[in-house]
A and B are shown apart, each in its own frame.
Chain A
Amino acid sequence: MTGVLVLVGTRKGLFLLEGDDERRAWRLEGPLLPGWSVFHAALDPRDGTIHAATNNEVYGATVHRSPDRGATWTRAEVLGLPEESGLTLEKTWHVEPGREGEDGRLWLGAAPGALFRTDDGGATWEPVEGILGHETRDRWYPGAGGLCCHSIQLDPGEPERMYVGISAAGVFRSDDGGETWTPANRGTAADFLPEPWVEVGQCVHKVLLHPGRPARLWQQNHCGVYRSDDRGETWERLEGNGLPSGFGFPLALDHRDPDAALVVPEEGAENRVTCNGRLGVYRTRDGGASWDLRTEGLPAPAWGAVMREGFASDRLDPPGVYLGTQSGSLFVSPDAGDTWLEAVSQLPPILSVEAAEWS
């Protein structure tokens, strides 16, 4: 028997939902880490440890980890920015476990514009100098969520290749394990600047790599939805055919199909609610050439919002898709986005959703 553990990070703690592979009935547990805003939480498939990027308005930013599904938690011992940088850690945003075989290694995205690496399972975190001291840093500007490093993607076939997304700096690729970083923003617009075609400064909202075709990346940006087929060298803008808006935050993929992607657009940067007074998921299955609105089981009227980390998919067949709203509802699609059901409501505002399989 297999099943899914959904990790739901909220502004007021972490919730876990456990279900079988039908993904229609869920057992709710939590809140764990009360008092902490969980910007993102992930289950490390290598050892089952849960890692959570945790923030408190008073007590600062850190990372917690639990080896026993949330029964006990340990906080990072060493996590901060060096004095010579003139910066201090503002927020932790995303924890990405390393690859199979990279024992103890994880990556952490943070604000202001920082990437950290641990090689001891999350006790001590070292800032990645190639990001902290990047030569284009004077052209990075914080978005509404701060200068946040929110997307970290590891190429599963190339151990030295990885990507980060930082708002509003753009996408960067490393081909040497994180030592040096190349801007990967050609073709993505910064429409809020007088000259939109810049090397860096794009407001990327979420970047995902397709695990079955790692040269293909999808991106939800402040200014459009994009696809790259060449490791981020160039991007194609996609929202001309079926999407009501290019503005949005979350993005999810179908692990079986590199041509499929799901987004939840919002009206626009100046009116951040779901389009046309309803909560709907737009899905493409042709690489972004066309988009279909999926609404069955999703509420209307609704003026919701889904945060950049509030969307996830599992690796079952068909994949389950998970959507958490700022209104505290978690919607689940057990059939790759065709139909939806509300698994839980009235949680605190949902900041992040991740899905992990168990067997």
Chain B
Amino acid sequence: MVVVLLPAVLAAEAGGRKRFEAEAATVGDALRSLPIADRVLDERGELRPLVNVYVDGTDARERGGLAAPLTGGETLRLVGAIAGG
């Protein structure tokens, strides 16, 4: 089981809930299990370019992106890259 932590805008979309738990073998599995999956993945299932996923503090893109394996016990933190004004 992994823990997924959401930023404020996504938590509001998830009914105010900031913390989710998921049984997931990959980062993609964990994201697809969320009620806000459509906000972090586009209609092709790709990670939106300005969404960063940190797995225990490491950028998931450095670990294979959505295919990055999870063994259980990890904490995934979703962070929006700085954009706009």
Pair A89/B43 contact, Cβ less than 8 Å = yes
Which of A34, A58, A88, A89 contacts B83 (CB under 8 A)? Answer: A58
CA distance A83 to B44 in the complex (A): 7
Quick check: B12 and A35 within 8 Å, CB to CB?
yes
Number of chain A interface residues as a range: 10 to 19
Interface string of B41-67 (1 = CB under 8 A from A): 011100010110000000000000000
Interface residue A345 (Cβ < 8 Å from any Cβ of B): no
Give the shortest distance, in Å, between A39 (CB) and chain B (any CB). Answer: 14
How close is B46's CB to chain A, nearest CB, in angstroms? 8
Report the Cα distance A60→B51, complex, angstroms.
10
Query: Chain B, 25-49, contact with A by CB distance < 8 Å: what is the 0/1 string?
Result: 0000000000010111011100010
Known: A75-B13, A88-B42, A88-B43. A60 touches B48 (CB 8 A): yes
Contact B84 A57 (CB under 8 A): yes
- CB <8 Å contact, B42 and A57: no
A58→B50 contact, CB < 8 A: yes
- CB contacts (< 8 Å) of A88 on chain B: these are 42-44
- Those 9 A-B pairs whose CB atoms lie nearest each other, nearest first: A80-B43, A58-B80, A35-B9, A57-B83, A57-B84, A59-B39, A58-B50, A88-B42, A60-B48
Given contacts A57-B80, A58-B9, A79-B38, 19 further A-B contacts (CB under 8 A): A34-B12, A35-B9, A35-B12, A56-B39, A57-B50, A57-B84, A58-B50, A58-B51, A58-B83, A59-B39, A59-B48, A59-B80, A60-B38, A62-B38, A75-B13, A75-B38, A79-B43, A80-B42, A81-B43
